[in-house]
Amino acid sequence: MATTAQASQASKPIVSANGGGSPPNPFEIAQRQLDEAAAVLKLDPAIHELLRWPIRELHVTLPVKMDDGTTKIFHGFRVQYNDARGPTKGGIRFHPQETIDTVRALAAWMTWKTAVVDIPLGGGKGGIVCNPKEMSNGELERLSRAYIRQVGRILGLEKDVPAPDVYTTPQIMAWMADEFSFLKGYNEFGVITGKPLALGGSAGRNDATARGGIFTLREAAKVLNFPIKGAPMAVQGFGNAGQYAALLGEELLGCKLVAASDSRGGVYNPAGIDPHALIQHKEKTGSVIGYPGTKEISNEELLELDVPVLIPAALENVITAGNAGRIKARIVAELANGPTTPEADKILHERGVYVIPDFLCNAGGVTVSYFEMVQNAYDYYWDVEMVHERLDKKMTAAFHTVHQAAQQHGVHNRLAAYLVAVSRVAEAVQLRGWV
């Protein structure tokens, strides 16, 4: 890797789908995080500038027949951020507030995520601006197939492999895989991961993101000499990843869930909450609110509880310069993408809060998606024990590589994770002769 002049703070203006200015959008944050790593690595300015931007992105317009006979026009994106280390990989999001800058940021983070766990993939992401909660199954199927008809030309097992993300499901992945296979004229189920088992999905995929995060939490407790068994734990965001984190934190580490929240608010009981019962309550009522024996709290209050283990598993930018000084957790395990702002990172580091950064902590999902691609490629499938064992090995190795980089450079863990990931991608870029 070339190490010439100090990394440039690059050039192009941000094109924001949000229309403007005040709070930094996720892509600006992703670029700032890269800039900080590039300065420490003394990255070649040309490599740095290349890594600040997607290699390619596709914007599509999708006409879809609705159940009432009208045609509605949807807009979608697919961003392939960097493929120097292998085909790009990343989820597809269905969300009413989806923006190109969010998709760019997530594709960038996927690039660093695949590099930090050392799997031979690059980073990609996709999205459609829609509200799936207001759509029927038939409308969702027609939308999913329309997306693949437009984006399928840049997808493929050797090009770019999507997966589920926000408000997309294994069923949606099945429709997309079927549409792609129809366009190709042969089955290529490996073009999509996160599929149902009957169509070549992998055992162990459902809880992979949370399980990988719990493995890193276990390793963090070891390096900190922190007694994790019985430790109170708060989970902000009681969706798929948050629910599995609560279950596996108890099952694998003996942690005690004391608080959980969703978009409507949170619940707290210092004596402990049964995660199984809380999941059942949410399935019946639609929220954790009202769970018997708990006190109602806000999402903001949950973050500042006096608990040693905090798991943000919901939205980006929830830990900021404004509240970082009040975070009392010993370990923050980021299952969400981008929950901590760059300013908050510095405050938490100065206060001795040990952050397991998002693109390390939540890399279990893409790791098992990679395992799914491998299994699809040679048409032989592993049992769940083998998936768990190989995931544990990957996540543990990645955690210690990042922890050692943090100690060596005297930096916070997110910057350390960037140093590991960016150096690996930069090396591939240079070896391929791109710069």
Angle at 164 between CA 159 and CA 170, to 5 degrees: 110
- d(CA 272, CA 294) in angstroms, rounded, equals 9
Q: Please give the structure tokens belonging to residue 62.
A: 């999708």
Among residues 89, 113, 125, 256, which one is catalytic? 125
Nearest to 57 by CA among 132, 108, 116: 108
- d(CA 230, CA 250) in angstroms, rounded, equals 8
For 153, counting Cβ atoms within 10 Å of its Cβ (0-12 exposed, 13-18 middle, 19+ buried), the class is: exposed
Q: Please state the φ and ψ torsions of residue 331, each to the nearest 5 degrees.
A: -130, 130
The single residue listed with the structure tokens 């900080």 is: 36
Query: CB neighbours of 391 closer than 8 A, spacing ≥ 6?
Result: 204, 208, 211, 212, 215, 364, 367, 368, 371
DSSP state string for 383-406: -HHHHHHHHHHHHHHHHHHHHHHH
Q: 62: part of which helix (H) or strand (E)? A: strand 56-65
The single residue listed with the structure tokens 């070896």 is: 431
**Known catalytic residue: 125?**
yes
Nearest to 364 by CA among 40, 108, 173, 119: 119
- d(CA 244, CA 207) in angstroms, rounded, equals 6
* Residues with active-site annotation: 125
